Structure 1
Amino acid sequence: MALDRRTFLNRSAATGAGVALAGAAAAPAEAHGKEKPVPAPKTYSFSVLGTTDLHGHVFNWDYFTNAEYTDTAQNDVGLAKISTLVNQVRKEKGCHRTLLIDAGDIIQGTQLSYYYARVDPITGTDGKRGPKHPMALAMNHMGYDAAALGNHEFNYGIPTLRKFQQQINFPLLGANALDAKTLKPAFPPYTVKRIKVPHGPDIKVGILGLTNPGIAIWDKSNVQGQMTFPGLVDQAKIFVPKLRSLGCDVVILTDHSGLDGGTSYGDALPYPENASSDVAAQVPGIDAILVGHTHKEVPSRTVTNTETGRTVVLSEPYMWGMRLSVFDFALELKKGRWEVTSVTADVLNANSAAEDPEVVKLVKAEHDAVVAYVNQVIGTSKVAMSSTESTYKDTPIIDLVNRVQTDTVKAGLAGTAYASLPVLSEASCFSRTGAIPAGDVTLRDVAGLYIYENTLDARLLTGAQVRDYLEFTAAYYVQTPADAVIDVAKLTNANSRWDYTYDMVSGVSYEIDIAQPEGSRIKNLTYGGAALDDSAQFVLAVNNYRANGGSNYPHVAAATSVWSSSDEIRNTIIAWVKANGTIDPTAFASVDWKLTRDGTPVF
């Protein structure tokens, strides 16, 4: 088994072999009782390994299916497999020639991470000390050097994030995560690592961390008045020169911000969501960027800095620990200082590795506790339901989510001035593999319908605004002529819109004519059997991501909030199933919307 870094350093110190990352250079050889001068090397190389968007994945396990993770591309997931890849690279290149970093979104995403935030929280309960986070256990063992803050780090609130920060042995970096009162970084903006070169000067590597400005929108309830998030370019222009002034020979950024592309929150913020390429092009002095946030695999991309003409190498490994980015740096010693002569990047596939038995051993008890938790039976269902067709058909499984949200908002509005208003609800197909079986229903079955930690809000909209909302969501479909053959695999995700950006609205009835251009697709929009009154008022049940501007839906972010809850929608659905005991689609399922072409139903 490959040595981890601490074992390597300890053995090096004990035997005098090797060169430790922070230790002294090996003693020069002696001949005839006299030391022979050893010239300083003229070149040197080292590697930076990177992960991103781990989202609580330690094992190659799917807690929603209660089986090993699998997909059509034969991907594997989890830090246990990444750890094996890291050990292999360290063995090949030398522990003293590698650094390991992450680009954020660590502590949210699986039932494993949820359990240690909400069920047995790391912050503790009733005055008792909480457990150690499974991601902290795994990442500390692997010897991470630094990680950037991701936007999902804030989903469970700042206290949970701060406790995780205390539990890890490496810094969480966020140069653009500022204290709202002092406007100073609320987390370390950077860290500097020294790589010892035998008989030569140290290589000083500056690692700068940047996160996503969208946190101010997506987790507004958790950060408002406490933290603010300026743009990546602005903060990089402050701290990259700072790192160079500290004598850093190499500057690498770890950014929780996509390479480029659109901004999901439109003009709600003056800072772009996906800005890594902008940073590379506009901020001199950067050698490489580890990219995160967009869940894409980009082994290597180069961007030319407009001021210096130098190229910056960027790499984004695939999400959930499916890939490991490897940046290889070559340096040359010039006038006593190291200069980068080349940077290359590529990714390694986790499906080629076995799970590291040390990581498995470290986190097994936590994993077993979560498996038992998610497999508890909480109700029964009269029929089986699936989300397989939910992106193009009105299905009972989405109707269930909308029914729970509608009931919850109606109960919340009781006794208020808004109690008499009709309540509509939006829901998305977050997973095309979501399923409720006939018979016993477990917690994991229900949790699989809502994989995000969203909470519920209720916004006041007019009929005209509801129509605009539906036109916006209808742009999810590819425009398809009436005489064209329908291929459901190519029908959705127009304009690079992911499934979670597509909303199905209950409480009204409507058709989406996919033969029409965007903005003119909603037909036969009715409420209560009559044409929708544009001046009428409605309450729309929305998740907090939408309510705060996520996906840039019209009107919602600016609309009046008439009710909200701090409980996750997932928990609300679980509680509804427990309270009702039986899931009977005949009580809530109906076909409220359908796809048409020139008035003819598609399905």
Structure 2
Amino acid sequence: MKLYNTFVLLLAASSGYARIIKKCMKKDPNFSYTKSGDIVISEPIDRNNVTITIAATSDMHGRIYPWEYAIDEADNDAGFALTDTVVSKIKEDYPNTLLMDVGDLLQGNSAELFIKYYTHPTVQALNLLKYDVWIPGNHEFNYGLSFLQRNLKHFNGRVVCSNIKYADSLKYYLLPYQIYSISGVRVAIVGATAPHIKQWEASNPDHFKNLEFLDPIESLKTTIKAIKGKYDILVGAVHISRNGEYEAEGKTGAFQIAEAIPEFDVIIAGHEHATYCDKINDTWVLEPGRYGSHVAFTKFDLVKENDHWKIVNIEAENIGTNGVTPSQRVMEKFKWVHEQSLADANEIVGKVDADFIEGVDYITSKSKVTTMPRAQIEDTALMDLINEVQTYYAKSEISTAALFNNNQNLKAGDFKRKDVAFIYKYDNTLMGINIKGENLLKYMEWTVGYYQTVKEGDVTIAFNPDFRSYNYDMLSGIQYEIDLSEPEGRRIKNVTFNGKKIDPNATYKLALNNYRFGTLTSNGWATEADVYYSSVNDPKPTIRDFIAKYTQEVLGGTISPKCDHNWKIVGLPKSFNDPATIAKIKSGEIKIPRSSDGRTPNVEPVRKI
């Protein structure tokens, strides 16, 4: 037999068959998510009525303990330790409960410390708490496919998403749906995620290699058509904001999905970090906030008619976690994660010799913003520091950065890693690109769309509630003015570089984070060919890493506030900062409105009294 096998191999090698055999033996290089098939959670019951419930979390962003490591303080409405208490009570009251997470699990709150672990602690938490379903969010792709796919496999439940396919084969990347049998009732979960992941991960194409992110409505429709007649309850689980975003705004959000696909009995959403529970036509659409502040809860009452289950009542609400007792099993199981995160947060990287922003709130001068963040009204030493670091390591002429936390500041004293995380919330990487002056100006006009146009009688500057604050960037290396008396698209004035007017045809070197690069490429203001530097392959690639490194290696361990006041807002009315009206704001008699989701302060100007 051995002689025969040797002969066959020699024949193949000598006759050209080796190439054919090799091709036949070649494995599919794509990741294969092999879990499939309907799941029976509980056997059919011998009665004609039943209650099924769905509990869901979303946008946990690394929160296991109720603790915010960037400020090293307890967070009384965050973490799996709190959501588990709420879910355990739900399961006690309603044994027929399905539990799911709607994405953005693996990033945030020191989650990056555990990337190299065989199974990330947050996925360990899903398994401990017996989650049935996980919908991937956009931040799941932040650390590359190898990390993500390892954790997808290690999750004991099912990962569901209908709008991600392989570009070469058009096969589904994950399960488009999952059907569960609960007391004989067939519950179908159909998932989708935000379709802009390529844009957000544009600086790291390997993070979405060979993947296509498709229109969620069309993908959901196709999936639902394929399972027609196979479910009694149809649940949409979408990591998509209420009304979509960018070019899809008002087209493919969770509300538009409910309108386009009335077959859904409920849609549980994520991504927006908002807390809402609304009915769109006959479909409940709800989102449980962020970090574990709420658990989305939906209750279905069904009766059996002609041997088929029929929904007779649906109730939906978001159950808050503030004030609940933390789950002991979570606190015990993940004590090591908490301790390791605390140790990292309190590592000293340098000294701060003076406060960077005096009066973080523009009107009250307090350290917590209740009116307007000073750093978005005037140039500050804090934003200049971030841009200084980016300029240095990207070897650029110009830099751009955003205020990720309205309250961020550096106070005199020890400079710890938690302070770095506080002033730079995300673990973005650094890039340097060549950009034409014309495109630089277009980008600048786009980013100041964060402001509303002012008019006479306005006492305060108002922000655009439809423009996220993390998209408003402040630039260094150039001088410029923002004229808020002008409409969007005509506000950037008097832009100079080294004392000369910006040349639309000249090329400038711009430092920016990887997410903003995605914005520029999606708008046609930059391409991959314009990249001259990317930190993604550096041993410590994040802008947070560079801030710590710059403090230690360039500044000698001590940072001091410096502000060059290279930009300012102009075109303000005479009524701006009217003393009498400002006094009433300070006293609390006049409240400055916030956006409905609470994420954007100051969305309407206060008028002169």
Settle same-fold status: TM greater than 0.5.
yes
- Whether the 8 Å contact between 1:546 and 1:556 is mirrored in structure 2 is no
Task: Pick one of 395, 406, 409 that aligns with 2:394.
Answer: 409
Q: How far is 1:67 from its partner?
A: 1.1
The one-letter code matched in structure 2 to 1:594 is: K
Q: Which residue of 1 aligns with 2:181?
A: 194
Partner amino acid for 1:396? A
In the other structure, the counterpart of 1:516 is 486
| 1:318 matched residue in structure 2 | 289
Counterpart of 1:234 in structure 2 is 218
Contact 2:303 2:311 in 1 (8 A): yes
Answering whether residue 168 of structure 2 is matched by residue 181 of structure 1, we say yes
2:374 aligned partner: 389
1:152-197 deviation per Cα after TM superposition (whole angstroms, max 9, x unaligned) = 000011111112223321112121121222111111222221112x
User: For residue 425 of structure 2, what is the aligned residue in structure 1?
Assistant: 451
Is the Cα–Cα contact under 8 Å of residues 104 and 137 in structure 2 kept in the other structure? yes
**Cα pair distance change 1:362/1:492, threshold 3 Å:** farther
Query: Is the 8 Å Cα contact of residues 546 and 553 (structure 1) preserved in structure 2?
Result: no
Alpha-carbon offset, residue 363 of structure 1: 0.5
**3-state secondary structure, aligned to 2:61:** coil
For 1:510 and 1:140, locate their aligned partners in 2 and report how far apart those are by CA, in whole Å.
52
CA separation in 1, counterparts of 2:301 and 2:411? 55
| Equivalent residue runs for 1:239-250 within 5 Å | 239-245=223-229, 247-250=230-233
Q: Secondary structure at the match of 1:453?
A: coil
| Matched AA of 1:403 | E
Q: Which residue of 2 aligns with 1:356?
A: 327
Runs of 4+ off more than 6 Å: 270-273, 599-603
Deviates more, 1:271-280 or 1:527-536: 271-280
Which amino acid letter does the alignment assign opposite residue 121 of structure 2?
A: P
Match of 2:26 in 1: none
CA distance in 2, matches of 1:480, 1:576: 39
Write the distance in 2 (CA, Å) between the matches of 1:296 and 1:550. Answer: 26
Kept after mapping to 2: 8 A contact 1:133/1:167: no
**Counterpart mapping for 1:322-471 below 5 A:** 322-386=293-357, 389-410=374-395, 423-471=397-445
How has the CA–CA distance of structure 1 residues 164 and 492 changed in structure 2, closer, same or farther, with 3 Å as cutoff?
Answer: farther
Distance 1:363 1:326, change over 3 A: same
Give yes or no for the alignment of 1:292 onto 2:270: yes
**Displacement of 1:284:** 5.0
1:114 pairs with 2:112: yes
Q: Secondary structure at the match of 1:548?
A: helix
AA matched with 2:211: M
> Shift of the alpha carbon at 1:600?
8.8
Q: Which amino acid is the alignment partner of residue 208 of structure 1? A: V
Please give the alpha-carbon distance, in whole angstroms, between the structure 1 residues aligned to 2:213 and 2:240. Answer: 13
What CA deviation, in whole Å up to 9, does each residue of 1:38-59 have, x standing for no partner?
A: xx43322111111111111112
| Identity of matched residues, % | 27
Q: Is the 8 A contact 1:381 1:584 kept in 2?
A: yes
Distance 2:97 2:417 in 1: 42
Q: State whether residues 175 and 185 of structure 1, in contact with CA within 8 Å, keep that contact through their aligned partners in structure 2.
A: yes
In the alignment, which residue of structure 2 is the partner of 1:98?
97
Q: Structure 1 pair 23/234, CA: closer, same or farther in 2 (3 Å)?
A: closer
Residue 523 (structure 1) shift: 2.3
Give the letter aligned to residue 134 of structure 1.
P
Cα pair distance change 1:442/1:551, threshold 3 Å: farther
Separation in structure 1 between the aligned mates of residue 251 and residue 73 of structure 2, nearest angstrom: 34
Query: What is the identity, as a one-letter code, of the residue corresponding to 2:477?
Result: G
Shift of 1:98: 0.9
Q: 1:426 to 1:553 in 2, by over 3 A?
A: farther
Please tell me whether residue 582 in structure 1 is matched to residue 557 in structure 2.
Answer: yes
Separation in structure 1 between the aligned mates of residue 576 and residue 514 of structure 2, nearest angstrom:
32
Task: Give the TM-score, by structure 2 length.
Answer: 0.80
Q: 2:581 corresponds to which residue?
A: none
* Distance in structure 2 (CA, Å) of the matches to 1:64 and 1:344: 37
Match of 1:545 in 2: 515
Q: Is the 8 A contact 2:142 2:207 kept in 1?
A: no
2:43–2:182: 8 Å Cα contact kept in structure 1? no
Q: Secondary structure at the match of 1:397?
A: helix
Q: Which amino acid aligns with 2:238?
A: D
What residue is the counterpart of 2:602 in the other structure? none
1:138 aligns with 2:118: no
Instruction: Report Cα offsets for 1:441-479 as digits up to 9, x if no partner.
Output: 111111222222322222222223222222222221122
1:212 aligns with 2:221: no
Paired position in structure 2 for 1:308: none
1-side partners of 2:217 and 2:560: how far apart? Answer: 50
Letter in 1 for 2:82: K
Question: 1:416 — aligned with what?
Answer: none
Change in Cα spacing, 1:224 to 1:92, as seen in structure 2 (3 Å) is closer
Amino acid at match of 1:66: D
Question: Which stretch of the first structure deviates more once superposed, 451-460 or 476-485?
Answer: 476-485
2:59 paired residue among 46, 53, 71: 53
Distance of 2:506 and 2:444 partners within structure 1:
16
Partner of 1:478: 452
SS in structure 1 of the partner of residue 322 of structure 2: helix
What is the rounded CA distance, in whole Å, between the counterparts of 2:198 and 2:487 in structure 1? 33
Distance 1:382 1:492 in 2: 33
TM-superposed CA distance for 1:224, in Å, is 4.1
Q: Contact (CA 8 Å) 2:217, 2:252: kept in 1 or not?
A: no
TM-score by length of 1: 0.81
Contact 2:63–2:80 under 8 Å retained in 1: yes
| Gap regions ≥5 residues in structure 1 | 1-19, 27-39, 70-74, 123-129, 197-201, 305-310, 411-421
Secondary structure of the structure 1 residue equivalent to 2:423 = coil
Using the TM superposition, give the Cα deviation of residue 482 of structure 1 relative to its aligned residue in structure 2, in angstroms.
5.1
Compute the displacement of 1:340 (Å).
Answer: 1.9
Quick check: 1:482–1:515 contact (8 Å CA) kept in 2? no
Q: Secondary structure at the match of 1:251?
A: strand
Task: Give the corresponding residue for 2:83.
Answer: 82
1:403–1:167 Cα change, 3 Å: same
Q: Which moved more, 1:367-376 or 1:546-555?
A: 546-555
Question: Displacement, 1:90?
Answer: 1.3
In the alignment, structure 2 segments of 5+ residues that lack a partner are: 1-38, 361-372, 578-609
Q: 2:280 aligns with which of 290, 303, 322?
A: 303
Please tell me whether the aligned partners of residues 457 and 575 of structure 2 are also in contact (alpha carbons under 8 angstroms). Answer: no
TM-superposed CA distance for 1:572, in Å, is 1.9
Check conservation: 1:391, 1:492, Cα contact below 8 A. no
1:283 to 241, 261, 274: 261
CA distance in 1, matches of 2:235, 2:265: 6
Q: Which amino acid is the alignment partner of residue 258 of structure 2?
A: A
Q: Give the residue type in structure 2 aligned to 1:235.
A: S
RMSD: 2.5
Distance between the aligned counterparts of 1:524 and 1:593, measured in 2? 10
Q: CA deviation at 1:596?
A: 1.8
Between the aligned partners of 2:195 and 2:251, the Cα distance in structure 1 is: 6
When residues 551 and 234 of structure 1 are mapped into structure 2, their CA distance, relative to the original with a 3 A threshold, is: same
The one-letter code sitting in structure 2 at the alignment partner of 1:115 is L
CA distance in 2, matches of 1:225, 1:60: 35
Q: Per-residue CA shift, 1:240-292, capped at 9, x if unaligned?
A: 122334x211111110111215x23x3xxx79885222322223532111111
Partner of 2:469: 499
Question: Which amino acid in 2 is paired with 1:109?
Answer: G
What is the CA–CA distance in structure 2 between the aligned matches of 1:483 and 1:286, rounded to whole Å?
47
Deviation at 1:404, TM superposition (A): 0.8
Picking from 31, 41, 62, the partner of 2:47 is: 41
